[in-house]
Structure 1
Amino acid sequence: MVYSQTENAVVFIGNVHGTQKDMAIWAAKITAYFTEKNDGKAGQKGQKDQKGGQKGGQEAGQAGGQGDFGSKIDRIVAEGSVRLVSGKNEGACSRLVYHVADGVIRMEGNPILRDGQNTVRGDVIKFYIHENRSEVLSGTQRRVEAIFYQQDKGAGK
């Protein structure tokens, strides 16, 4: 794990697995970018910026310590053999950017998204978590490909 104070980010390298609520991400590298520190949201009352940063940096590895980070994760960038599971949806790509506040995941690099047997591929896939919908974009080298299976009426018997 590497913390970059200038980028207000933490980088995890090497077979990384991250979870949030019902979503899980696996990748070779995951970078978590935090909201700006000292923006009034971090909840560090009574501490001066410089002093709070030093103390927070020492506590960053302890449970519950916010450290020098902002109070919330702004976005997560996953790179290298990315795999995603969110509810009943599964996806894979080479690069994924998750904007936490918006609930939007952008998948690039040969992305594929599966919902059961149904599959979509394209140049870029945007998955809107809160709305449970996806947008598949074509590129100059790739068309959108979608395979949908009809549910069998007698499958539940």
Structure 2
Amino acid sequence: MTVFSRIAAAAALALLMVSGTAIAQGASVAFGGLKHDASLPVEITADELSVDQATGSAVFIGNVVAGQGEMRLSAGRVQVQYATENGQATGRIDQLIATGSVTLVNGAEAAEAEKAIYSVSSSEIVMTGNVILTQGQNALSGEKLTVDLTSGSGRMEGRVRTIFQTGGNK
């Protein structure tokens, strides 16, 4: 995460705490911008790659960016788990496990967290650890964000804090 994005995230969180905050334990929210086609190919770039044929995994380290269509996932480290059949890796990606300043961007929506697990076959992303989601001028924070990329629906859990802009000027 860049210094600018950390400052912006901190400012958004401070704004959440100071002004008209709605607080809940869990919140369902529409994630239309995070709707996504998981059948598209995944492209990954990084500073380093380690492959373990025995476990059927690959680990990308350093400035990792994984792209699929319009969606971008960046992190310090991304482990790729391949699907297996009869104990053999198929070459199909099952999961991407991202750690270290994780950022997910799709369209005008962006989310940051400490960890993210993208299950490609179920088209679901689970982000955990100090999650901050921005949707235009709205911001939402919590400990766990689960997004169904097929439907564009999601759920934020764990001491949820949010600000919804009403559009009114007073």
Q: Same fold (TM over 0.5)?
A: yes
Residue ranges of structure 2 left out of the alignment (5+ in a row): 1-48
| Match among 80, 84, 96 for residue 116 of structure 2 | 96
**One-letter amino acid of the counterpart of residue 2, structure 1:** S
Q: Tell me the distance in 2 between the aligned counterparts of 1:124 and 1:132.
A: 16
Q: Tell me the distance in 2 between the aligned counterparts of 1:151 and 1:25.
A: 31
Q: TM-score, normalised by structure 1?
A: 0.70
Q: Any residues of structure 2 matched to 1:2-151 within 5 Å, and which?
A: 2-36=50-84, 69-138=89-158, 143-151=159-167
Which protein is richer in strand relative to its size?
Answer: 2
Q: 1:111 is paired with a residue of what secondary structure?
A: strand
CA 1:104 to 1:151, structure 2 compared with 1: closer, same or farther past 3 Å?
A: farther
Q: Residues 103-133 of structure 1: CA distance to partner in whole angstroms, max 9, x if unpaired?
A: 1111111011111111111111111111112
CA contact (8 A) 1:23 1:85 kept: yes
Q: Tell me the distance in 2 between the aligned counterparts of 1:127 and 1:13.
A: 25
Moved over 6 A (4+): none
Structure ranking higher on relative contact order (CA contacts 8 Å, 6+ apart)? 2
Which protein is richer in helix relative to its size?
Answer: 2
Q: What is the aligned partner in structure 1 of residue 30 from structure 2? A: none
Cα shift at 1:97: 0.4
Q: Tell me the distance in 2 between the aligned counterparts of 1:9 and 1:87.
A: 29
Larger radius of gyration: 1
Q: Tell me the distance in 2 between the aligned counterparts of 1:15 and 1:91.
A: 17
RMSD: 1.8
Q: Tell me the distance in 2 between the aligned counterparts of 1:86 and 1:3.
A: 28
Q: Tell me the distance in 2 between the aligned counterparts of 1:36 and 1:16.
A: 24
Report the identity percentage.
30
Q: Tell me the distance in 1 between the aligned counterparts of 2:113 and 2:130.
A: 6
**One-letter amino acid of the counterpart of residue 78, structure 1:** A
Q: What is the aligned partner in structure 2 of residue 43 from structure 1? A: none
Q: 1:144 is paired with a residue of what secondary structure?
A: strand
Cα shift at 1:8: 0.7
Residue ranges of structure 1 left out of the alignment (5+ in a row): 40-48, 50-68, 153-157
Q: Tell me the distance in 1 between the aligned counterparts of 2:67 and 2:78.
A: 11
